[in-house]
Structure 1
Amino acid sequence: MKVERSLFIILVFLFWAPAFGQIPQAKFEDFKLQSELMGRMMPYRVVYPVDYFKSNEKRYSVIYLLHGLSGNYKNWTEKTKLLQYATKHDFLLVMVEGENGWYVDSAKEPRSFYESYIIKELIPEIDKKFRTLNDRKHRIIAGLSMGGYGAIKFGLKYPEKFGLVGSFSGALGIVTADTDKMYGWIAETVKRAFGDSESPVRKSNDIFAILRGLSSDQLSQLPFIYLDCGTEDFLFRENQEFMTLLVEKKVKHEYRHLPGAHTWTYWDSQIFDFLRLAEKLLKEQEKMK
């Protein structure tokens, strides 16, 4: 009997052992939206809160995540531990496809209206298709590098849409950067998106100029801005310059400069911190009701 019982225990352990070492991960699903503005199907990825399918009533805050130049909407789940981190928070995460369009309505490319697509098509699609809390306070947007620039720009241009925006190693000075000093293919993406130096698209998407042009009342309506950059990042200086402008304009924000470069290792640590910050700020807002 003892031998049989011992054998039974060993078999049970072997059956369950693989599960003991597994790290919980959130479920995700890919979708495509037929965009009239873009003239094609635009993919996006949704990461669900762990209890999303346990109720038909509960609604969730949404975080839109923007990728960087030469990236795609799959990057956040493939290159960071986001699926693991997401299990600890109550957010619906939406990974946006921005191709190499700098999240603007292009000055030169037809059917390249990334800004309008996100604001006019994708956000309404998400609020219709999923159980979201669809007010400003519960809608967040963040991104890395090109996506960091995009997130800040959306927060400045559409403060009624977002309660929190975040930039990780954002290419914040891209509009006024010297394209002659860039790699050829990068310079081409900038020229296609923003046009020449006198283009109205360039002027209307310069986040430094946008921020400087806001009135005191408009500044007070801006979302909370989170900004970080690694001290070894080639974009470090422009991030410091933007932080200085935020301080000058008395915009609510948090700025961090930490050891790190323009790498996924750095962004993995920052998305971990950003999710915690977003949860903290939402809880503080709830207490203020």
Structure 2
Amino acid sequence: MIKGLRFLLPLILAVSAVGAERTDCGSIKSKLLPYPVGYCAVLPPGFAAHPEKKYPTLYFLHGLGGDQTFMVSSGAWNVVADGWERQSLGEFVVITPQAGRSFYINSKDGRARYEDFFIREFIPQMEKRYHLSATRAGRAIGGVSMGGYGALRFAFKYPQMFSVVAVHMPALLEQLPRGSANAGLSGYLGGAFGTPIDEAFWKANTPFVYARTAALQGMKIYVDCGDRDDFGFDAGTRALDKLLTKRKIAHTVHIYPGSHSAEYVAQHLDESMNFISRGLGLTR
């Protein structure tokens, strides 16, 4: 059962500065959403000097309460920058789009088609704007909490698009809570799954649905979660581990000591970034 409902708080790590020449934040207009969508891109050291190179990409999705500045305004940047400096990480572009409370899906009421926007508009525009690899082998996706939910769902629903997925404490629930807990959850989710939550719609959109049948052989999959996750997402992580194991899908799952917190992410972000670098074929 969910212990409180504060997983919507921003997952902000220690603040650090990023050189302006290594980041680019902007927005794009959408034909599928009624508002421009902000994003921030973190660029590797050699990016400006190699306009002819098609860079691999990590789409890193923020948690509920966060925004597109997650990587560039937090200590998460330090992990990537240090890896580049030590050459323990290969060079890839990291892009975080603004997602609000969308859970990265097309909303129940049809007003916010975020999934369609991300797949049909955002990725193609980013690939053109930043001369990125437009191949499955060149795309990774990751995220934290709500962003972990979104990353797993995108990876499992569109396995032809992504070769690597790596997430921390993903917002995975096998069952919705009942009674007052469900009512509170509905308010926090901001209507993405209906208000009150439409249970059938919610079930149809969970990453579990796609994990049961998708062609995931060959995809590199990494998931971790704290053993004292405040919202029970450790149980969801274990359930996903069991499902993938039953299907004989290769994957890496860790249940580490910790709660649903920024500190937990900070402790394990280096592991996921190295997993992504290896999964993209950039390092061993």
TM-score range, shorter chain: 0.7 to 0.9
Measured on the aligned residues, the alpha-carbon RMSD in Å equals: 2.5
Work out whether residues 37 and 116 of structure 1, in 8 Å CA contact, stay in contact via their aligned partners in 2: yes
Amino acid at match of 2:123: I
Within the alignment, does 1:55 sit opposite 2:54 as a pair? no
Q: 1:80 to 1:56 in 2, by over 3 A?
A: same
Q: State TM-score, norm by structure 1.
A: 0.81
Amino acid at match of 1:82: W
Q: Give distance in 2, aligned partners of 1:183 and 1:77.
A: 34
2:209 match: secondary structure: helix
Q: Measure how far apart 1:83 and its partner are.
A: 4.4
Q: Where in structure 2 are the equivalents of 1:5-154 lying within 5 Å?
A: 27-83=22-78, 85-86=80-81, 88=84, 89=89, 90-108=91-109, 110=111, 112-154=112-154
Amino acid at match of 2:235: R
Aligned residues, how many? 258
1:134 match: secondary structure: coil
Q: Give distance in 2, aligned partners of 1:197 and 1:231.
A: 29
Amino acid at match of 1:279: S
Q: Which residue of 1 aligns with 2:277?
A: 279
Q: State TM-score, norm by structure 2.
A: 0.82
Q: Give distance in 2, aligned partners of 1:269 and 1:138.
A: 26
Work out whether residues 67 and 147 of structure 1, in 8 Å CA contact, stay in contact via their aligned partners in 2: yes
Pairing partner for 1:227 from 208, 223, 228: 223
**Cα deviations by residue, 1:1-44 (Å, 9 ceiling, x for unpaired):** xxxxxxxxxxxxxxxxxxxxx99868211111001111211000
Q: Give distance in 2, aligned partners of 1:140 and 1:271.
A: 15
Pairing partner for 1:251 from 249, 252, 255: 249
Q: Measure how far apart 1:248 and its partner are.
A: 0.8
Q: Give distance in 2, aligned partners of 1:166 and 1:204.
A: 22
Amino acid at match of 2:234: F
Q: Which runs of 5+ in 1 are unaligned?
A: 1-21
Work out whether residues 62 and 140 of structure 1, in 8 Å CA contact, stay in contact via their aligned partners in 2: yes
Q: Which runs of 5+ in 2 are unaligned?
A: 1-15
Q: Sequence identity of aligned pairs in percent?
A: 26
Give the structure, 1 or 2, with the largest relative contact order (CA under 8 Å, sep 6 or more).
2
